[in-house]
Amino acid sequence: MFGDMMNMMGKLKETQQKIESTKLRLDTVLIDEKSNDGLLQVTLTANRKIKAITIDESLLEDKEQLEDYLILVLNKAIEKATNINETELAAVAKEGMPNIPGMDLFK
Amino acid sequence: MFGDMMNMMGKLKETQQKIESTKLRLDTVLIDEKSNDGLLQVTLTANRKIKAITIDESLLEDKEQLEDYLILVLNKAIEKATNINETELAAVAKEGMPNIPGMDLFK
Give the model's pLDDT for residue B34. Answer: 97
Structural domain of residue A56, as residue ranges? 20-95
Report whether A87 contacts A74 (CB < 8 A): no
Average pLDDT rounded to a whole number, residues B59-85? 97
CA angle, residues B37, B38, B41, in degrees to nearest 5: 140
Q: Which residue of A has its CA nearest to B79?
A: A49
Closest CA of chain A from B71, distance in Å: 6
Asked whether the beta carbons of A67 and B66 are under 8 A apart, the reply is no
Instruction: List residues bridging with B35 in a β-sheet.
Output: none
Domain-embedded: residue B100: no
A55–B63 CB contact, under 8 Å: yes
Cα atoms in the Cβ-side hemisphere of radius 13 Å centred on A83:
7
ipTM greater than cut 0.85: no
Please tell me whether residue A58 adopts helix, strand or coil conformation. Answer: helix
Q: Is the pLDDT of residue B93 over 90?
A: no
Task: Report helix, strand and coil shares of chain A as percent, to nearest 5.
Answer: 60, 15, 25
Assigned domain for B75 exists = yes
Q: Is residue A2 part of a domain?
A: no
By a Cβ cutoff of 8 Å, what residues of chain B touch chain A? 9, 12-13, 15-16, 19, 48-55, 57, 60, 63, 66-67, 70-71, 74-75, 78, 82, 93, 100, 102-105
Number of domains in chain A: 1
DSSP state of B38: S
Report the 10 Å Cβ neighbour count for A15.
18
Mean pLDDT of B20-39: 96
In a domain, B103, yes or no: no
Q: Is residue B88 part of a domain?
A: yes
Predicted pLDDT at A13: 85
User: How far apart (Å, rounded) are the C-alpha atoms in residues A96 and A106?
Assistant: 11
For the stretch A46-87, pLDDT in tens is: 999 999 999 999 999 999 999 999 999 999 999 999 999 999
Q: Looking at the domain assignment, is residue A57 inside a domain?
A: yes
Write B5-13 long-range contacts (CB < 8 A, 24+).
B9/A100, B9/A103, B11/B96, B12/A100, B12/A103, B12/A105, B12/B96, B13/A102, B13/A103
Does residue A4 form part of some domain? Answer: no
Residues of B in contact with A50 (CB under 8 A): 70-71, 74-75, 78
Taking residues B53-61, what's their average pLDDT? Answer: 97
CATH of residue B40's domain is: 3.30.1310.10
What pLDDT sits at residue B21?
A: 93
**B105 domain-assigned:** no
